[in-house]
A = this chain, B = another copy of it.
Amino acid sequence: MASQKPLERPVLAVDVAVLRVEDGRLWVLLHRRREEPFPNALALPGVAVQVEETLREAAARALTDKASLARELLRDLHLEQLATFDALFRDPRGRTISVAYLGLVRSALGLDVSWHQVQDLLDGSLPFDHQQILETAVDRLRGKLRYTNIAAQILPPTFRIEQLQGVYEAVLGRSLNRANFRSKLLKLGLIEQTGILSEAVGQQGGRPPYLYRFVTMEVEAQDRDFL
């Protein structure tokens, strides 16, 4: 039968690292594999790309099919291409080249899926080259925080500056100066005050903070000059 013959071309797949910030930590969406290879292992959702779909559509399909992500939640999902991984033996089933995607979701989403701390996964426990993909995803997010408004894809439409700083600190992995963080992001024109005071939810005394919003919601780079 034709299906038994070895393929002459590599198989093309997508793997998605969906990241989320909560409780000052960075989390990634994993699913538990059911088939060979690596049955029962936690892995990034991924599928083989079909002829009639784009890579982005394949990435979305990986999330709904493999990670049981509800289709409605895809609208709130930021997806961007990371890189293409092509090590010869990255998949024991045969030559598979995978386009990795970075996904971002807002903390407000109550996804009924399996989240895991990124920090705990950098010890070689992930199958395939998924640790490398995850590291690439975190690096990309870290880099884009510095010169774009990509944090808008992580936070709700309005937020407290402390929340925003928490996202930066969780992703960059270090603490930032409160006063300077505020003035820098405001002076860059990245965020603006809404004039609305935040409902002090778990607040134990203290002045209630204003809510802020990103000036633009599309991810945009800030220009930097070289001389």
Give chain A's interface residues, CB within 8 Å of chain B: 2, 5-12, 48-52, 54-56, 81, 83-84, 86-88, 95, 97, 99, 145-146, 168, 172, 176-177, 180-181, 184, 224, 226-227
Contacts and interface: CB of A to CB of B under 8 A. Distances in A.
A6 to B, nearest CB: 8
A49 B84 CA distance: 13
A50 B9 CA distance: 5
Given A55-B86, A86-B54, A48 B9 contact: yes
Contacts of A49: 9-10, 97
Nearest to A100: B84
Contacts of A6: 51
A181 B227 CA distance: 7
Contacts of A176: 226-227
A51 B226 contact: no
5 residue pairs, one from A and one from B, having the closest CB atoms: A55-B86, A146-B226, A176-B227, A51-B95, A2-B2
Contact of A9 (B9, B54, B146): B9
Most buried by B among A48, A84, A172, A227: A227
Contacts of A8: 50-51
A11 B7 CA distance: 11
A60 to B, nearest CB: 13
Nearest to A183: B227
Contacts of A54: 86-88
Contacts of A10: 12, 49-51
A167 to B, nearest CB: 12
13 contacts: A8-B51, A9-B9, A9-B12, A10-B12, A10-B49, A10-B51, A49-B97, A52-B95, A54-B86, A55-B84, A86-B99, A176-B227, A177-B227
Contacts of A2: 2, 5
A88 B181 contact: no
Nearest to A99: B84
Given A84-B55, A86-B55, A180 B50 contact: no
